[in-house]
Amino acid sequence: MAPTNKQWVSKLDGADKLELVEGEMPVPKDGEVLVKINAVCLNYRDIEVCDGEYNHHQTPTDSPVGVVPCSDMCGTVVESKSPLLTAGTRVMSVFLQTHLVGALKQSDMESGLGFPLPGVLTEYRCFDAKTLVKAPKYMTNEEASCLPIASVTAWMALNWMRPIGKSFQELELYGKGGDKDKDKDKEQETVLLQGTGGVSIAGLQIAKAAGLKTIITSSSDEKLEQAKQLGADHTINYRTYWEWQDGVMEATGGKGADYILEVGGTKTLRKSFASVAFGGTISCIGYVSGKEDDTGGDDGGNGDDKGKASGWNRLNVNVLALRKNVTLKGLVNGGKDRFEEMVRFYEEKEIRPVVCKVFGMEEAKEAMAFVKDGKHFGKVVIKLAEN
């Protein structure tokens, strides 16, 4: 009897309606490798896909009705038909399979794992060997599975403006090498991180390893304490301090944050403009507080209307960007070249992704619900195999 391949399938009708089915064992073609999936890391995108709400990107109109979800994995090559990878190599997936070098193109959006392409929530999957990155040897499968979207996105938020090879790893900006007399007077740059999800915690870890100052927000004092343990310099509870942009300005001596990882969207973008430094960068990554503007005004991110009266809330985004010479950057992810660049930085600094909770293969729906409810700090992983 031929071996089977267990996999979860979504009909895009709800993350709670995922179905565990038996699929055929895939067979690699020339240039491909067969990978045994060891661990799958969840992203907010995965829940959106399963709920049928991942509709803000231009993707093919004939997208599949049913799809194997999820994009981030660490697995082991068990059969290779490519000279690039040998059996036994641990690998991680590139989110957009055709985005290997350079800037993201519209066509790359059609190669997203977990939608519109079949994803990785399956025991085995074939990949073009070019679309995989070798996993750091010091990381567990669960840790390495966290890197493809969250960590690469955070990395790009801090490095997209720097040429490949001129990231924190080599660029002498933070008093490490170069002209020490000149560097010692250089002002330390600040990163503002919204919430304690995967991208923000990855950003916190990368920023601290690079010698930057960090500010992080959350509605949970418990999670803020966890962030402090990871090195956060300043924490702000936006439930009790609803004008949190004032806290950012206070923490930076009135300067503002040089880099903002904007994951809130509707409830946070205008406050990000009020928090950013002159000449700073706001990377628009997520929209956990909504995709559509509230015509009634901003509520400060905590469900009330106290932010409505603020004068800056009435300014057009064009003016908000202009008045501080701000770069507003839409950011999806990075290519394989930047992924590998980031891995070198992680290895040098021995950064370990924060895994909040690990679920079993049979608990995929419970894992999705855990992420959807915002209970996580860092990343949530589904463990499929030991190695």
Confidence of residue 178 (pLDDT cuts 50, 70, 90): very low
Same domain, 262 and 138: no
Confidence of residue 4 (pLDDT cuts 50, 70, 90): confident
Same domain, 68 and 118: yes
Same domain, 104 and 201: no
Same domain, 107 and 170: no
Structural domain range at position 282: 154-330
pLDDT tops 50 at residue 175: no
Q: For the domain that residue 46 is a member of, what is the CATH number?
A: 3.90.180.10
- Taking Cα atoms as reference points, which of 356, 32, 361 lies closest to residue 201? 356
344 falls within a domain: no
What is the average pLDDT across 354-359?
Answer: 98
C-alpha dihedral over 93, 97, 99, 100, to 10 degrees? 60
pLDDT tops 90 at residue 100: yes
Same domain, 224 and 110: no
341 falls within a domain: no
Q: For the domain that residue 178 is a member of, what is the CATH number?
A: 3.40.50.720
Same domain, 101 and 216: no
348 falls within a domain: no
Same domain, 20 and 103: yes
Which pTM does this prediction carry? 0.89
- Tokens in use for 233? 């310099």
Same domain, 277 and 364: no
Confidence of residue 250 (pLDDT cuts 50, 70, 90): very high
Q: How many domains does the chain have?
A: 2
pLDDT at residue 307, as a whole number: 46
How far is residue 7's CA from residue 17's CA, in Å, rounded to a whole number? 14
The DSSP code for 305 is S
pLDDT tops 70 at residue 152: yes
Same domain, 299 and 359: no
Q: What strands lie across the sheet with 213-218, from one edge to the other?
A: 234-237, 213-218, 190-194, 257-262, 276-284, 327-330
Same domain, 264 and 366: no
Residue 53: C-alpha distances to residues 15, 25, 63, 199 (Å): 11, 30, 13, 20
Placement of tokens 């350079």 in the chain: 102
Contact 91, 46 (CB under 8 A): no
Same domain, 62 and 9: yes
Same domain, 138 and 190: no
How far is residue 69's CA from residue 118's CA, in Å, rounded to a whole number? 7
339 falls within a domain: no
How far is residue 5's CA from residue 216's CA, in Å, rounded to a whole number? 42
| Residue 234 falls in which region: left (phi positive, over 0), alpha (psi -120 to 50) or beta | beta
pLDDT digits (tens, 9 = 90+) for 40-93: 999 999 999 999 988 765 555 455 668 999 999 999 999 999 999 999 999 999
